Structure 1
């Protein structure tokens, strides 16, 4: 039985965190003199200050304060291969030895494109520097090909730093100024109603959707919802784009191969260059031929420049990454994640907190939630009643016990995780529940 209130427990946890991480705090204060909020990547900020890391190996992180953490964040899915995969390391070292930045074609981009197209069933593709860039290019291509303006997206979606839609009622003020329709995720009736609105259907260029919303809390779309989107795209002759920047790791051939619903275009990124900067967009040849400068049929030809689109490090690391990530390796990682999520939810039931604490996700990606559980409403609106204080207390507890994950409760496994690592995560979660279940309830 705990005698502390939630407020008291959180205050003590913050004080312990500050006391345990003086070097991280110092680094944060120094950086804040030149970087707003002490960082150049907003998702990494956490109050009162973020942990500063100085090295990493396998699935462990070492901080400036001499503390070691089991990494269950996996660089927000980009670190699928862990922090020091030997084959990827050798590939990068070989590039360093042979030189980089050619300002010309290298030997690796064609090989990487072949591997990606064959793995994900894409006819033609192009490379970018990030998933954000890939989504921007996919939207631009869709508008150019269809000669239409409107883009259907969904509340709770995150397609990049300038393509963020926290809810159906709000989008980031930094978003690029396209004509977005922000729809209800997983709401089939909404799509059916939309299909009857000629104001929308006559000017719809693209539908951009995550088959599982990653930053939006790891909520997966239903097969029926994705079917409805495919039907909407077909009837309006718009372009269906699956954002698989995160979800392509959930099944061999991408999450689309699990559902068996084929988009017109796919965007990729994150892990596919072994942890180096990378993005990719591609799809049907009849769409992607707008980039074929050999075209002589009088059709549209677009230019897609980008100094680092074919940077040698990412190209070669990507080729090696695809070799490492066999179907068996991918399936095993996701199987481990499925079991982990089930066991966390079983612990929540064991301690009677399942209506206030639960886990959602698919395979190796998941999110821990705290608040009022209303699953039947989640498909309508991402923004729901949540308990931020409990979310924070959980994070401080986990990092205080050497387990690193996102402040918002997001977890991403890597191919380096094993059963013993998951058991440690579960052990720390159970310790949290033993102490705080009576408050959570």
Structure 2
């Protein structure tokens, strides 16, 4: 792996871009930024409907006995979402952002209907294939567009707001779905809100969302000017322009060659590995512990709820304190929280572990995206974000397989303990390989 020497524009780079089309900054673009937050909340709401219901649906409605079989819907979701992230990033660099966003919503429209009318578990798998594409295209694109709009100074804050909206909606949607399932049945009522989410997201994206690719082009122009003026061209080209890097180069840099980007990618993968565990196995674990579906829905919602709300603070905090320490500490806290889960019992104690897990994830999630944005050149940043999100969401695949196999062979407690240990070790690895990416540090 290549040691990092990250090239970033100086603080006195030109503040007035020559084009009136692209004026970066949160204040200058607050209307579009707010609109994209709302759109991303609908994206999160789509996936939140599944988090407390679908594992139970597999056992009770379709009679699945194997934990691995129950978690197969996460496996299908994770594979296609990871690939959709990769293509979303590359297509956003090639053809623009808005078309990718609209395509994601069109693909997501049938998802709630497929789940509502599914006559067999195979239909649930197909629905989650489409949901994975929807999540990959839409969530990736809203991330990229917010990075475009906000400029380099407030990336941590921007990612915190984005992820807070998305996972806040995941939490509320999870709790609502659990309530509807407890009040009515597992189908169709918990999935009816998904129809409204998909239609609202599509209409907003078609009518009000504007293309943001010009902001990235403008930032690339300013970076090139700053590089020439300060004679930084001789340094290592982590921030090389897109003209000099093929997609293969970008993939290898983000995945392995650049130590910091490797550290970010592995942490993202392990983070979503334990999120796949939480999504697929925690409801079964809590049900085996004697909780009813209402309390299972609350526990399933506490974790993304704390995760979402806390990102309002952690994203902005990473702009002040730096990225690396928060990533390392967040991964270790997640590992500890997961490891505690089998050691305690009851709704109260399990609520505490879910709060800790949410806090640990909040430290990590927006900070990883901000670190990618710090390192990657604006012209290939969307592609790099796509590669990172490819690795991150492959964590769902690995998590579902590992949790299912371990649970079937050794029991749920072992599955939870092993993934908790892997998560803690991911924080140790990040400490070893990463460099600080925040420009002024």
Q: TM-score range by the shorter chain?
A: under 0.3
Q: Could you say which structure has the higher helix fraction?
A: 2
- TM-score for both structures, normalised by structure 1: 0.25
Larger radius of gyration: 1
- TM-score for both structures, normalised by structure 2: 0.25
